[in-house]
Each structure stands twice: as structure tokens, then as C-alpha cells.
Amino acid sequence: MALLDYKIATIGSHSALQILKGAKDEGFSTIVICIKGREKPYKMYNVADEIITIKDYNEFPKIQDTLLKKKAIIIPHASFITYMGHADVEKFNVPYYGNKKILKYEEDRDLERKWLKNSGLTLPKIFKSPKDIDRSVIVKFHGAKGGKGYFIAKNERDFNKKIKFHPNEKNYVIQEYILGVHMYIHYFHSSLTNEIEIMGFDKRYESNVDSLGRISSRDQLALPAEKVDPSYVIVGNMPLVVRESYLPRIIEMGENVVKQSKKMVPRGLFGPFCLETVMTPEEEISVFEISARIVAGTNPYTHGSPYTWLKYDKPMSTGRRIALEIKNAIRKNQLNKVLG
Amino acid sequence: MALLDYKIATIGSHSALQILKGAKDEGFSTIVICIKGREKPYKMYNVADEIITIKDYNEFPKIQDTLLKKKAIIIPHASFITYMGHADVEKFNVPYYGNKKILKYEEDRDLERKWLKNSGLTLPKIFKSPKDIDRSVIVKFHGAKGGKGYFIAKNERDFNKKIKFHPNEKNYVIQEYILGVHMYIHYFHSSLTNEIEIMGFDKRYESNVDSLGRISSRDQLALPAEKVDPSYVIVGNMPLVVRESYLPRIIEMGENVVKQSKKMVPRGLFGPFCLETVMTPEEEISVFEISARIVAGTNPYTHGSPYTWLKYDKPMSTGRRIALEIKNAIRKNQLNKVLG
Amino acid sequence: MALLDYKIATIGSHSALQILKGAKDEGFSTIVICIKGREKPYKMYNVADEIITIKDYNEFPKIQDTLLKKKAIIIPHASFITYMGHADVEKFNVPYYGNKKILKYEEDRDLERKWLKNSGLTLPKIFKSPKDIDRSVIVKFHGAKGGKGYFIAKNERDFNKKIKFHPNEKNYVIQEYILGVHMYIHYFHSSLTNEIEIMGFDKRYESNVDSLGRISSRDQLALPAEKVDPSYVIVGNMPLVVRESYLPRIIEMGENVVKQSKKMVPRGLFGPFCLETVMTPEEEISVFEISARIVAGTNPYTHGSPYTWLKYDKPMSTGRRIALEIKNAIRKNQLNKVLG
């Protein structure tokens, strides 16, 4: 089948701009599925050959047949997974880039932790009960609040005092508080060549916590506490490079995560993924989460990163790397190796 | 008239490097007007075909005839406006990119506020009198101090206590203090096609406030207060990308500002402009200022931004975008649509 | 001798990726010398034509003959100097890019200070004895701890109290504490043309100090002091541009440093170097260190910086600039002007 018979499709949000632009650069036609009223960015940058508008994401399953007929391959990103829901993604029958079987390991906190631990990574300690708290901790809420309300407690008593301000929150995790700088590591593992690449690094830009330090301590203490309570809502990303001597270790971390994933599910993890880490002054790399797909932290690099430019003679975003992988699979007649 | 008959000229400061480089990339000859002793950057990077040296910016009107003879088109930037003064810019008769009539709406705080409000944007509340303060505020001084001496007050009493340290300052504004992260949005509106583009985003790098957080609270409290008083002097800019799901809203904000400007003055705002915003954890985008011309926050992108690379197959800085617009106007014989 | 007879070699760490990639882009074959087990980054990005593995850096002198036979030119970076030791670098007889005679001026704190002062730069005051402390100071330890344990003291008494927590540290410097934002200025001085270029700017990403501000003052005070003590371990770098009006001054600073170096040693300083500065709200640029070679702060710019793109029509990293310089020297038959 000719290359141009396939189309690359994704949902208009998150990292769709680089996915679509990358697909076009690799010679694919592109389709973006947008909530009505959210098409403008894709028109403005002219990255979508076709825009399919839906009223609500729950309409998404209804357009499956259309996508199938158009020979679309869906590139999933966080918004796609969130909007569709884990279960529906599995049932979805449009060709899908990536391994759907890995999704539940990312979604289930316990499975995820086990995966990372078995990969030999260093993880922050989790305390099942406030009674076990034996060091400074950060308490993270899950679900709708999206980064709001997290707090730091220095011991059980402090925890008990502060949790009272969140009477309706039952779903939280008590995590060892590791003081270091955040770094998000972007990998790409090819299921065609079994090779791993580092695509780049970023630092999130979070509101309001990344502005907190701009208020002097005297002012912070003078202002009402609720005014300066940190929240961690991601509003952007900033480019970053890592100390080069850390790279061998960082590469191995990625390799081990992939190796371990193959023990968990057939074919294991492939495509883009991200380790969310804290680097401590002791030069430990503490991993607090994995994202088993493209993350928005690769968006600073729509025209290639300081790392991808080392390897490629063209601008290679993570979005384009996905399209390149699919193109290679088509050429080798191995689409089954890259689809869900 | 042949394209190369026109020359692009600007003052050697602010964002002149990208303006001149961009103009050369579009095929124009370039002229930079420099204060004596400040020519080196333009020589070093070889972006100026001609350097005109003046002793002082008030000599600028004197070289008008020279510029006219050379068929120069002036690209204004903040330093140009500041050095020339608003009134003199209006009288200036060298062809000028942009709408001079919009300048007073940028300069007059009340007109600016009205403009932004009528564009449907969210603005921080302004308190006319200290008596009205009903929440945390930041007090900003204007004029010569350029970012020094701003302070935060939590109520009227706190304001009255702190304003005493600034006995000579009469020109200040009492603004609602919004805790969120700063983001500067760079737009370009074409008066030829009536289309808007997002050129990119940046975060300012301000001294000393962007270093304040690197001092522990214990140390801040131990140091003398005047040692750790924040100041907001811009010394640089850092690249940034925004969460993709915010883009539809951000595009509309720009469109509304342009639409509103057309009700204010003939032709309205066109060319590059910038909304200076704070993004809150509640995902509100609060606008505290507009710059109706190129801003230095586009300087990280002399070789294109993660956004302009989506649309163009060449490195498109904001400076180059201006030159491209002028070139298109010349070709369409519509220079009157882009000149002041 | 034909260009391709020479090979560019460096140690696999620090800034080797851009050095090797840049050399290849200029047409050289490349060699990377790696500690066993640290080869992966150089394979992954395919920047090394040859990898020489050693068990330990003290084996490095043993491979001199091999490198000589291969017509290798060594590009030194910080890790190279650190691993080899200053004395051994001088004895090393493989062709070496840069002026070895300048090394001791960089290594000896007093010589370095004299150099910078005689270049007319502003330096933070150094206090020889705690008794002399008359303002806020930062106390920096040298050697193995690499950025850990630095502390701020507001006066002699405060110093005496805090130094007790470091009973084993004898090697420290008491430096005036200058509150401003850090900026690392990357220069390149050509010994062929006697011209200086600014290659770009960066901001270091240091653990944990760049995360400290993300903890509210209330939390910092609640946590144990040792938990929130700042440390300054460099884990990465972030791109940055400087306010354009500072450039003339910044260029002159670099020129003066080079001019002064010529009074110190024959030929003086050439190639890449870095001034490590703090920019204050008063717009003073305070220089606290010089690195007389390529620094890792140029790593964000493997594909060129916002500054090098102004001058070159190709991606010019500092690593590539070195290779270009060597190529030009070969072509002009002036290798003696660029080698150690």
C-alpha cells in the first residue's frame, strides 16, 4: 500500500501541533479532531489537512468508522487518553500508535510503582498511613483538582493538622518530599530497531508555584496563607539540557524501563515516553512518575531539540519521530510492530 | 518601484538585531542608527549594511532627511518610542511601520485599560485610593526607576506603612496582586490579510526578583530587609511554550484586542504586539499590559520560535515577519496599509 | 596536508557531544575517549567515528602515542582539565586547541582575580578574614563538595555561628553577597582574526537551589533547616537572551579580558571562554569567575544560539566554532596560532 494512503490523526490539544506538523514533514496527510470552537490553532499554523469537529469528546467513538475509512492512524496523547478513558481506548478499533496494553500500568499507581522499582529506579518513599511518616512528605491529591492543594508536612502531627483543610479529599498519596530540581526526560524507543533515543529534557512551568519564589519571605509571611499556598497547575514548559555526564545513567534508566515492560506485556513499551524526575544535590535521580506516551514537555522542540539535532540532519520533534517510525514500519511492511 | 529600493532602518538597541537580520533575510538593505560607541553588536553580527552614528537620541530628527533620501522604512521598538517620545514619533515623517495613532492608547494608562477591558480581557483590579484596598496589592512606581521599589501590601495599613519608604514617589499605581506565573504572548496581526498569528511566548528574567527564591527563607529573614527587597529590572528573556489547550483562548484574546482597536482609530492595531499576562492556578489569564509593537521577549527567537516553525519553512523571527509584511505590501502595491 | 588528515578528539563528557558533532559538520573525523561504560551517548547520537575506551582517566597519558599517530587534535573542556590535572595537561604532547599557558590563571584564584580586575571588570569583594566582614557574604567551599554547603552570613558573628557546621572545611572563600540574577556569557575569540564573538548566554540549573523558591516560606520555616539548606550542584542549563542594550558593554568586557591576557602570557587567551556574572538591579555586571575554555552552558545551543544564527547561515555551536577555527588555521597554514 502506498505511503500516502495512510493518514495521521490526533485530537486537537496537548501536543497535536507537533504531531501534525511532524506527520506532514514525513509526507503524511493529517486529520485533527477538534471540539467545536477549538480549531483555530490548527488552522493558524496550517498543520491539518482535515479538521473533524465534534461537540464533545464522548462523540469520539462515533467517528471511528469515518477514521477507519480514511485509513487514519491515531496518535494518542494525554488529552486523548483522559478524554476517551482508559477502557474506551482499549476498545477503540482505529489503528493506534503504541501499545494499548501498557496503559493500565501507567494508570494504576501500584502497577506503575512496581514497574519502575523493578526497573531498578530510585523512587520516593510512599507512606501508606500518616502514622508511618518519618520524614518530610508532600501530600498530593488526585483527580479533578489537577495540582491544586498539594501540601508539605514535616511529620504526622503536621499532616493531621493540614489535612483538615481538605475535608472532602479522600484520594491522596503521602510521598517522601525530595528536595531537588525537577527534570522531565523524553525518550523514544523504536519497536522496529529496538533502540532508544533521548529526545530532550524540559522543566515544567507551573502556576503558581513557579512564581512563589518571586515573593520575598517577609511578604509571604505577611500575606494570608491561602494567598501564597503553592499549586502545581502546568501552564507551559521550558527547554533545558542536562549535565552531559548524567547521560549514560539516564540512557540506562530508559533501557531498563523498556526491558522491564517486556516482562509485563507482549512487545512492552515503545514509542515516546517520559520519566518525571527530581535531581538531588547528591546527584541521585529520583523518579516519581512515568508517562507511556508523548508528553507536552516535548513542545518546546517542534523544530528539534539540542539532542535530536545531534542525530538528525532535519528538525526532528517527537511528533515527527512518531511519523518517521510509522513510515519506516510501512516501508518494511511491519505496521503490526508499531500499532496498538 | 523595485523591492531593493527600500531600506529597513531601526535604532541600535532593544530588538534591532532580529529586525535587521530578518530584513536582510527578506532581501532588504539595512540601516542601523546607533549612539556613538554602541555600534559593536551590529558589526559583530554583520546585520547592518550601513551604520549611522549619532551623539544622542535627540539628534534623531536631524537625520530624517538622510533617511528619507535613502528610502528607509523605520521599524519602531520600545527604545525608539522611549528615546523619541510619543509626540515626536507622530511628527516624524520618515515612513514608519505600524499605526502611530495607536501609540497614545498604549501610553495613557486609562486609555489602555479601557481598550483591554472593552476587548473582554480579564484585568487586575486597580485601586484609586489606598482606602479602597480590599485584598493584597502590588504598588508599582512609574518612570525613571524602571522596576525598582515595587512593593506588596496586604491592606490599607500595610500600604501606608510601606509607602513611607518612598517619600518622593507620587506616580504609582495600586494594583490587585495576582499570584500566578508570568507569560508574555507575542502576536502578529497582518493588515494585509487581516489574519493573526502567535509568534511565541517568553518569560522575562528580572533582577533581582528572579534570584530571590534562591535564598532560603531563613536567610532572607536574617538578611537586612533592604538587601532582599525585590526589584523587577528586566535583564533578559527565556523561551517558553504554553499548554496547547490554552491556545484557542489566547488567539481569541488577540483577535478581540485588534477588533476593539479598530473602533478606536482608523485601521486599528497591526503588526507585532504583546499581551503581558499572569496565568493563575484557576487557569485565568489576567492581562496587565499591552505593548503595541515588537517587544524584546521575541529575542530568544531570532531563528524562529517553536510556533513560527510550524507555519513557515524558514526561520521566522518577529523581526523577519515585519520585513516579510513590508515586502508583501510592496509587491501588492499596498504600502499605505502597513505604514504609520 | 589534507584537511581530513586531522582528527578532532575529546573526552566523552561535559560538552563532547557538540564538540564532536560540530567537528563532523566541518568535515573532520572524530574520536571520543570514554571511560568504559560511558560510551552510550556518543553511540546514540552517532557523533564519534571512533571510540577509545579507557578504564580510568589516569590512563589517558598512555594513549598519547595512539592519538599522535591518528593526527588527533584534542579539544579540552572542564572535565578534561579536571581529570588530567593542570600539570599533566601542560606536559601532554598531543596537539591541543587553546593556550595551555592561560590555564594557571584560571586555576589560581588570586591570579584569576588579578586578571579580571586588571581587565576593568567589577568583582565581588573578597574578605580575607571573618573579622573584615562588613556586609552580607556568601561562603563558598572548594574541592570535592562541588556546590554543597555554601552559606550566607550577614556579619562576622553569623559567619562564626554557621562555619561551625563545617568543621572539616578549611578551603573556603568569603565573598560579598551580590543579589542579582546569574548570567553566563559565552565568548569566542579568534586567534586568527583577532575578533571576538558572543556565542550566547545561559542560566545554570542548580540542585537544590533552583527549587527552593517553590517551597513557601511557611513551609521552609516549618521544615528542618538542613532539609532546605541551599546547594549549588549544576545539573543542567537553560537558554537565555540578554537585554540588547547591554551588549556593547558585554562585548567590551570580553575584549578587555583578552587584551589583558596578552599582557600575561604570549598569545593570550583565545578560543571559547565564559564570564560568570551576576546582573544587579542597578544594572551592574558583577563577574565572579572566568572559564578559559568551552563551558557546558553552551550545550543548549548544539544547533546554534539566537546569537550565532545572526551571523552564520548554518547551525554554529561553540563546538563547531572551534572546529571551524581549526579548519581555517589548517587552510591558512597557521595551525601554530590555534594549538596549545
3 state SS for chain B: CCHHHCEEEEECCCCHHHHHHHHHHCCCEEEEEEECCCCHHHHHCCCCCEEEEECCHHHHHHHHHHHHHCCEEECCEHHHHHHHCHHHHHHCCCCEECCHHHHHHHHCHHHHHHHHHHCCCECCCEECCHHHCCCCEEEEECCCCCCCCCEEECCHHHHHHHHCCCCCCCCEEEEECCCCEEEEEEEEECCCCCCEEEEEEEEEEEEEHHHHCCCCHHHHHHCCHHHCCCCEEEEEEEEEEECHHHHHHHHHHHHHHHHHHHHHCCCCCCEEEEEEEEECCCCCEEEEEEECCECHHHHHHCCCCCCHHHHCCCCCCHHHHHHHHHHHHHHCCCHHHCEC
Is the Cβ pair A236, B183 closer than 8 Å? yes
B182 contacts chain A (CB < 8 A): yes
Residue A146's pLDDT is what?
63
Q: In the predicted model, what is the mean pLDDT of residues C315-329?
A: 98
Contact call for A241 and C15, based on CB within 8 A: no
- A229 vs C: CB within 8 A: yes
Cα separations in angstroms, C261 against A189, A213, C97: 49, 39, 17
**pLDDT for B4-56, tens place per residue?**
689 999 999 999 999 999 999 999 999 999 999 999 999 999 999 999 999 98
Check residue B51 and give its pLDDT.
98
Question: What order do you get walking across the sheet with C137-141 strand by strand?
Answer: C126-127, C172-176, C137-141, C151-153
Predicted pLDDT at C4: 66
- Which chain B residues are within 8 Å of C245, Cβ to Cβ? 13-14, 38, 79
Contact status of B78 with chain A (Cβ, < 8 Å): no
Cβ count within 10 A of residue B51: 15
Nearest by CB: B16 against C154, C229, C244:
C244
Query: pLDDT averaged over consecutive 10-residue blocks of chain A (340 residues)?
Result: 79 97 97 96 98 90 93 92 80 93 91 97 96 93 70 91 86 92 98 98 97 94 86 96 98 98 98 98 95 97 98 97 98 95
Residues of B with Cβ-Cβ distance to C251 under 8 angstroms = 40-41, 44
Contact B281 A147 (CB under 8 A): yes
Q: Which of B209, B283, B311 sits opposite A45 (nearest CB)?
A: B311
pLDDT value for B1: 43
Average confidence score pLDDT of chain C: 93
Inter-chain residue contact B136 with A206, CB threshold 8 Å: no
For residues C247-267, average pLDDT = 98
**Pairing state of beta strands A196-208 and B29-35?**
unpaired
What residues of chain B lie within 8 A of the CB of C209, using their CB? Answer: 214
For residues C182 and B214, give the distance between their C-alpha atoms in angstroms, rounded to a whole number.
11
The share of chain C scoring above pLDDT 90, in percent, equals 79
Residues 50-69 of chain A with CB under 8 A from chain C are none
Residue A145 is predicted with a pLDDT of: 59
What element of type H or E holds C333?
A: none
pLDDT tens for residues C119-148? 999 999 999 999 999 999 999 887 655 677
Count of CA atoms in the C-beta half-sphere (13 A) of A133: 21
- B214 to chain C: nearest residue by CA? C209
CB contact under 8 A, B299 and C238: no
A194 contacts chain C (CB < 8 A):
no
Q: Choose, out of A237, A309, A313, A321, the residue to mutate when testing the contact with C (most C CBs < 10 Å).
A: A309
What is the pLDDT, as a whole number, of residue A1? 43
Which residue of chain B has the CA closest to C315?
B303
Say yes or no to pLDDT of C313 above 50: yes
**Which whole number is the average pLDDT over C62-90?**
89
CB A239 within 8 A of CB C297: no
* A251/C41 CB distance under 8 A: yes
Q: In angstroms, what separates the C-alpha of C39 from chain B's closest C-alpha? A: 31
pLDDT confidence band for B3 (50 / 70 / 90): low
Q: What is the pLDDT of residues B248-306, one digit of tens each?
A: 999 999 999 999 999 999 999 999 999 999 999 999 999 999 999 999 999 999 999 99
Tell which of A152, A177, A179, A253 to mutate to test the C interface (max C CBs under 10 Å).
Answer: A179
**What interface predicted TM-score (ipTM) does this complex get?**
0.95
Q: Tell me if A277 sits within 8 A of C275, measured CB to CB.
A: no
How many inter-chain contacts (A to C, CB under 8 Å) are there? 147
Least CB–CB distance from C212: residue in B18, B216, B224: B216
Question: Could you check whether the bond before residue C299 is cis, i.e. omega within 30 degrees of 0?
Answer: no
Q: Inspect the interface and report whether the beta carbons of B235 and C246 lie closer than 8 Å.
A: yes
Q: Which residue of B has its CA nearest to A44?
A: B197
Which of B13, B207, B219 comes nearest C152 by C-beta? Answer: B219
What pLDDT does B165 receive? 86
Amino acid making up residue A212: L
**What is residue C150's predicted lDDT score, i.e. its pLDDT?**
83
Q: In this predicted model, what pLDDT tens digit does every residue of B119-160 receive, in sequence order?
A: 999 999 999 999 999 999 999 887 655 677 788 898 999 999
Cβ A52 vs Cβ A71: under 8 Å: no
Closest-CA residue in chain C for B40? C248
Q: Which residue from B14, B147, B215 is facing C152, i.e. has the nearest CB?
A: B215
Q: Which of A146-155, B191-200, C8-17, C229-238 has the lowest mean pLDDT?
A: A146-155
C222 touches chain B (CB under 8 A): no
Contact assignment for B239 to A238 by CB distance below 8 Å: yes
Cis check for the bond before A208: say yes or no (omega within 30 of 0).
yes
Report yes or no: A319 at the B interface, CB cutoff 8 Å. Answer: no
Q: Shortest Cα distance from C169 to chain A (angstroms)?
A: 18
Q: Judging by beta carbons within 10 Å of its beta carbon (0-12, 13-18, 19+), is residue C154 exposed, middle or buried? A: middle
Say whether B243 and A296 touch across the interface (CB within 8 A). yes
Distance from CA of C194 to the nearest CA of A (A): 29
Q: Are the beta carbons of C248 and B38 separated by less than 8 Å?
A: yes
Minimal-distance CA residue of chain B relative to C300: B239
Tell me the backbone φ, ψ of residue B91, rounded to 5 degrees. -80, -25
> CB distance from A337 to chain B under 8 Å?
no
Residues B172-215 pLDDT 10s? 899 999 999 999 999 999 999 999 999 999 999 999 999 999 99
Which residues, including other chains, have CB under 8 Å from residue A214's CB and lie 6 or more apart?
B209, B210, B212, B213, B230, C213
A163 touches chain B (CB under 8 A): no
Say yes or no: B184 contacts chain A, CB-CB below 8 A: no
pLDDT at C92 (0 to 100): 85
Q: Which of A140-144, C15-19, C101-105 has the lowest mean pLDDT?
A: A140-144
Is there a contact between C212 and B214 if contact means CB atoms under 8 Å apart? yes
Going from the N-terminus, what domains does chain B have, and what CATH number goes with each?
3-96 (3.40.50.20), 106-121+179-299 (3.30.470.20), 129-175 (3.30.1490.20)
Q: What is the mean pLDDT of residues C164-192?
A: 93
- For residue C44, give the C-alpha cell: 546514540
In chain B, which residue's Cα lies nearest the Cα of C306? B302
- Tell me which chain B residues have a C-beta less than 8 angstroms from the C-beta of C158: 222
Chain B, 257-296: which have a CB under 8 Å from a chain A CB? 278-281, 283
Summarised one tens digit per residue, pLDDT across range B208-260 is 999 999 999 999 998 888 888 889 999 999 999 999 999 999 999 999 999 99
What pLDDT does residue C1 have? 43
Cβ–Cβ contact C180 with A under 8 A: no
Among residues B255, B230, B258, B253, the alpha carbon closest in space to that of B242 is found at B253
Kindly list the residues from chain B whose CB atom is less than 8 angstroms away from the CB atom of residue A235: 181, 183, 242-243, 246, 279, 283
Q: Provide the shortest C-alpha distance from residue C159 to chain B (in Å).
A: 12
